[in-house]
Amino acid sequence: MSDTIENKCIEKGVGLTAQRKIIAQVMSKSNDHPNVNELHKRVSLIDPKVSIATVYRTVKLFEEAGILSKHDFKGGKARYEKVPDEHHDHLIDVDTGKIIEFVDEDIEKLQKKVAQKLGYNLVDHRLELYGSKTKK
């Protein structure tokens, strides 16, 4: 159970080549939200011959397979994390860039309610809080 991503690949029928395995492992043990460049750096420590194009392709492949999820926070490059067991949203520290995950069931419910009220089924959403410990 240590290597969830690899297992998911098998489940979803995603062929695991050597480079995909490395990318999977790196993401498995990452507890942050690296961008593609950062991910490529980490992968390169294991095998410096893996190209960044492969990282881009793999990350997209994993996303489409529901293995990774992609975030486009304000003013930056896309970041990835493993798809979590339970949904969460993010608070971004505007001073440090630190990302904190949180869950708030009430907000989730209200979002669904708002969508319904407007005549829609909520199929997706994006909630990001930008916070500071110092600024008002």
Partner DNA sequence: ATAATTGCAAATGCTTTGCTTGTGA
Partner DNA sequence: TCACAAGCAAAGCATTTGCAATTAT
Q: Given the rule CB under 8 A, which residues bind a copy of itself?
A: 72, 74, 91, 93-94, 100, 102, 104, 106-107, 110-111, 114-115, 118-133, 135-136
- Binding segment (CB under 7 A) for DNA, from list 56-64, 88-96, 109-117, 126-134: 56-64
Query: DSSP letter string over 48-62?
Result: TT--HHHHHHHHHHH
Kindly list the distances between the CA atom of residue 44 and the CA atoms of 31, 55, 97, in Å, as whole numbers in the listed order.
18, 10, 24
* Cβ atoms within 10 Å, residue 89: 16
The residues in 27-46 that bind DNA, with binding defined as CB under 7 A, are: 35-37
Binding partner of residue 19 among a copy of itself, DNA, none, CB cut-off 5 to 8 Å per kind: DNA
Q: Which two tokens stand for residue 95?
A: 């001073």
CB of 95 to DNA, least distance (A): 20
